[in-house]
Amino acid sequence: MGLDRLRFHLVDSERSPGARQRRRRLDWLARTFPDLSEMTVLDLGGRLGTWTRATVRPARVHVVNLERPPAEVPPWAHVEHGDACDLPPAVTGRHYDLVFSNSVVEHVGGHERRLRFADAVRSLADRYWVQTPYRYFPIEPHWIAPGMQFLPVRLRTEVARRWPLGHKQTRTHEAAIRQVLWTELLDRSQMRHYFPDSRLLVERVAGLPKSLIAVRTP
C-alpha cells in the first residue's frame, strides 16, 4: 500500500480506525446527553457531515466554521461562516441546549483566543462537550507522526513538509510553518483552566489517554 493511501485507511475512510473512534465518541455523547435528539446544538468549528452520519441526531444543529457553507443544507441544520472566537450576533444573541466542539480548540490560535473560545462555549449553553487531542499521547494526530508535538518548531515544520501522512500536504516552508503554529495540543491543566466548571473525560486508545473531553451536564 502506498503511503499516500495509508492515511486514508488509517483515518479518513469510513471503515478506518479513526472513523470508528469518531463514531464511538458520538455514541458516548448520546449516552452522556440522553435527550440529544430533542436538543438545539451549536457546533463550533465542525462540519455538517458529523451530524448526517451520527446515530443520534439533534433536533436542530447550527454549525459555525471558517469554511464556505455547503450548497445544500438539510432543513434541520443551519451552516454559516464565522469565527468561533468572534461569533456573529446571530449566534451570540441565542441560547442553545448544548455547545459541541470536536478537535477545534487546539487550532484557534493561542491562549488569548482559547479563552475567548471557552467563554463563548460556556455562555451560549448550560451544557457543553468540548473534545481535543491530548498533548501527551505518543502520536501527533494531525500528522500521525510519533512524538512530533515535542519537537522544536523548526523540526516540526520539516516534518510537516516531508511526512507523507499529514492531514494537508504542504510543500513550502511557509505553508508548513503556518500549519505547525496553528496546531497547539493541550494538556489536562489547560483544559481545566479553560473549562473550570466541567468534568474532564478521558478517551483512551490501547490504555493510553488519546483525547480529553470537557463536559458540563445539568
Domains of the chain (ranges; CATH) run 3-135+185-216 (3.40.50.150)
Dist. CA 46–CA 216, nearest whole Å: 19
| The residue to which cell 451549536 is assigned | 42
Residue type, 90: A
**What mean pLDDT do residues 193-201 have?**
97
pTM of the entire predicted model: 0.92
Q: Residues 170-177: what's their mean pLDDT?
A: 92
The 10s digit of each residue's pLDDT in 90-126 is: 899 999 999 999 999 999 999 999 999 999 999 999 9
Q: What is the pLDDT of residues 138-156, one digit of tens each?
A: 999 999 999 999 999 999 9
DSSP state of 69: P
Contact 61/51 with Cβ under 8 angstroms? yes
User: What are 169's three cell numbers?
Assistant: 500536504
Q: What is the pLDDT of residue 20?
A: 77
Q: What pLDDT does 4 receive?
A: 59
d(CA 38, CA 41): 9
Look up residue 53 and give its amino acid.
Answer: R
Which candidate, 75, 141, 84, places its Cα nearest to that of 116? 84
